[in-house]
Amino acid sequence: MKLQNDLLLRAAKGEKTERTPVWLMRQAGRILPEYRAVRESVSGFIELAQTPELAAEVTIQPVDLLGVDAAIIFSDILVIPEAMGLPYEMVEKRGPWFPQTVSSEADLKKLRIAEGDNDLQYVMDAIQITKKNLQGRVPLIGFAGAPWTIFAYMVEGSGSKTFSLSREKLYRDPVFSHQLLQLITDSTINYLKAQIRAGADLVQLFDSWAGILGPAQYEEFSLKYISQICEAITEVPVTVFAKGAFFAREQFGRLSCATVGLDWNMDIEESSRLIGPNKTLQGNLDPAALYGTAEQVRAATWRMMEQFRGKRHIANLGHGLYPDTDPELVKVFVQTVKEYSAANRP
Amino acid sequence: MKLQNDLLLRAAKGEKTERTPVWLMRQAGRILPEYRAVRESVSGFIELAQTPELAAEVTIQPVDLLGVDAAIIFSDILVIPEAMGLPYEMVEKRGPWFPQTVSSEADLKKLRIAEGDNDLQYVMDAIQITKKNLQGRVPLIGFAGAPWTIFAYMVEGSGSKTFSLSREKLYRDPVFSHQLLQLITDSTINYLKAQIRAGADLVQLFDSWAGILGPAQYEEFSLKYISQICEAITEVPVTVFAKGAFFAREQFGRLSCATVGLDWNMDIEESSRLIGPNKTLQGNLDPAALYGTAEQVRAATWRMMEQFRGKRHIANLGHGLYPDTDPELVKVFVQTVKEYSAANRP
Share of chain A above pLDDT 70, in %: 100
Report the pLDDT value the prediction gives residue B346, as an integer from 0 to 100: 59
User: d(Cα A277, Cα A311) in Å, to the nearest integer?
Assistant: 8
> pLDDT of A190-231, one tens digit each?
999 999 999 999 999 999 999 999 999 999 999 999 999 999
Question: In this structure, what are the phi and psi dihedrals at residue A322, rounded to the nearest 5 degrees?
Answer: -75, 145
In this complex, is the C-beta atom of B266 within 8 Å of any C-beta atom belonging to chain A?
A: yes
* Beta-carbon separation of A266 and B247 below 8 A: yes
Q: Which of B30, B125, B197, B286 is catalytic?
A: B30
| Whether A217 contacts chain B with CB within 8 A | yes
With CB atoms and an 8 Å threshold, state whether A265 touches B288.
Answer: no
Residue A106 falls inside a structural domain: yes
Any A CB within 8 A of B323 CB: no
What pLDDT was estimated at residue A1?
77
A76 among known catalytic residues: yes
Q: Is B76 a catalytic residue?
A: yes
Say yes or no: A167 contacts chain B, CB-CB below 8 A.
yes
**A184 assigned to some structural domain:** yes
Exposed, middle or buried by CB within 10 Å (0-12, 13-18, 19+), for B16? exposed
pLDDT at site A117: 86
- pLDDT in the model for residue A161: 87
> What domain count does chain A have?
1
Residue B2 lies in a domain: no
Is B302 part of the contact surface with chain A (CB cutoff 8 Å)?
no
Please state, in angstroms and rounded to a whole number, the distance separating the CA atoms of residues A21 and B272. 38
C-alpha triplet A93, A95, A97: angle, nearest 5°: 130
pLDDT of residue A329: 98
Cβ neighbours of B164 in A, within 8 Å: 288, 291, 322, 324
Catalytic entry in B153, B218, B225, B340: B153
In a domain, A13, yes or no: yes
Supply φ then ψ for residue A73, to 5 degrees: -60, 135
Residue B58 lies in a domain: yes
ipTM: 0.94
In a domain, B276, yes or no: yes
* Structural contact between residues A75 and A124, judged by C-beta atoms closer than 8 angstroms: no
Q: DSSP for B233-261?
A: --SS-EEEEETT-GGGHHHHTTSS-SEEE
pLDDT tens for residues A38-73?
A: 999 999 999 999 999 999 999 999 999 999 999 999
Choose the mutation target among A207, A209, A291, A321 for the interface with B, i.e. most B CBs under 10 Å: A291
Q: What pLDDT score was predicted for residue B117?
A: 86
For chain A, how far is it from start to end, CA to CA, in angstroms? 29
Whether residue B72 lies inside any domain: the answer is: yes
Using N-to-C axis directions, what is the helix angle for A268-275 and A294-308, rounded to 10°? Answer: 30
What is the overall mean pLDDT for chain A? 96
Query: Least CB-CB distance to B171: which of A171, A265, A292?
Result: A292
Q: State the first-to-last Cα distance of chain B, in angstroms, to the nearest integer.
A: 29
Which of A243, A265, A319 has the highest number of chain B CBs within 10 A, making it the mutation to test binding with B?
Answer: A265
User: To which H or E segment does residue B142 belong?
Assistant: strand B140-145
- Which tens digit of pLDDT belongs to each residue from A260-285? 999 999 999 999 999 999 999 999 99
Return the HEC string of B147-197: HHHHHHHHHHCECCCCCHHHHHHHHHCHHHHHHHHHHHHHHHHHHHHHHHH
pLDDT of res. B204: 98
Contact A207, A240 (CB under 8 A): yes
- For residue A346, what pLDDT band results from cuts at 50, 70 and 90? low
Q: What's the domain range around B336?
A: 7-343
Of B172, B214, B288, the CB nearest to A292: B172
A303: annotated active-site residue: no
CATH number at residue B183: 3.20.20.210
Cα–Cα distance measured from residue B128 to residue A214, given in angstroms and rounded to the nearest whole number: 39
Q: Is residue B74 part of a domain?
A: yes
Q: Residue A75 in 3-state DSSP?
A: coil
CB-based contact (8 Å) between A296 and chain B?
yes
> Higher-confidence residue: A1 or A17?
A17
- Residues with pLDDT less than 70, chain B: 346
